[in-house]
Homo-oligomer: A and B are copies of this chain.
Amino acid sequence: MTNTLLLLTQHNQQYRELLAQKQLPNLTILDDSDDRQQCEQQANIWLAEPHLAAPYLTLPTASAATNKLTLKWLQSTFAGVDALMSPQLRQDFTLTNIRGVFGPLMSEYVFGYLLSHYRHHSQYQLQQTQQLWQPKSFCSLQGLNMLILGTGSIAQHIASTARHFGMTVTGLNRRGSVVEPFNQLDNIDNMATHLPAADVVVSVLPNTVQTTHLLNSTTLALLKPTAMLFNIGRGNAIELDALQHELTQFPQRHAILDVFEQEPLPPQHPLWHCPNVTITPHISAPSFPTQVVDIFCQNYALWHQSEPLQYVVDPVQGY
Q: Which residues of A contact B (CB under 8 A)?
A: 104-105, 107-109, 111-113, 115-116, 118-119, 121, 124-125, 127-128, 131-136, 138, 140-142, 160-161, 164-166, 263-265, 267-269, 272, 278-283, 286, 288
Contact = CB atoms under 8 A, between A and B. Distances in A.
A202 to B, nearest CB: 15
B281 A133 contact: yes
A268 B133 CA distance: 12
Contacts of A112: 111-112, 115-116, 118-119, 121
A169 to B, nearest CB: 14
Nearest to A134: B281
Contacts of A111: 111-112, 115
A131 B270 CA distance: 10
A175 B69 CA distance: 67
Which 9 A-B pairs give the minimum distances between C-beta atoms?
Answer: A112-B115, A133-B264, A131-B267, A133-B281, A131-B272, A135-B281, A135-B283, A112-B119, A124-B280
Most interface-central of A107, A108, A135 (chain B CB within 10 A): A108
A161 B161 CA distance: 9
8 contacts: A104-B165, A108-B140, A111-B115, A116-B121, A124-B278, A128-B272, A133-B264, A164-B164
Contact of A128 (B138, B141, B165, B279): B279
A215 to B, nearest CB: 21
Given A128-B272, A160-B164, 17 more contacts: A104-B166, A107-B165, A108-B140, A108-B141, A109-B115, A111-B111, A111-B115, A112-B121, A124-B278, A124-B279, A128-B278, A131-B267, A131-B269, A133-B281, A135-B281, A135-B283, A164-B164
Contacts of A128: 272, 278-279
A113 B109 contact: no
Contacts of A140: 104-105, 108, 288
Contacts of A286: 135
Contacts of A267: 131-132
Contacts of A264: 133
Contacts of A141: 108
Contacts of A288: 140
A282 B134 CA distance: 9
A129 to B, nearest CB: 8
B115 A108 contact: yes
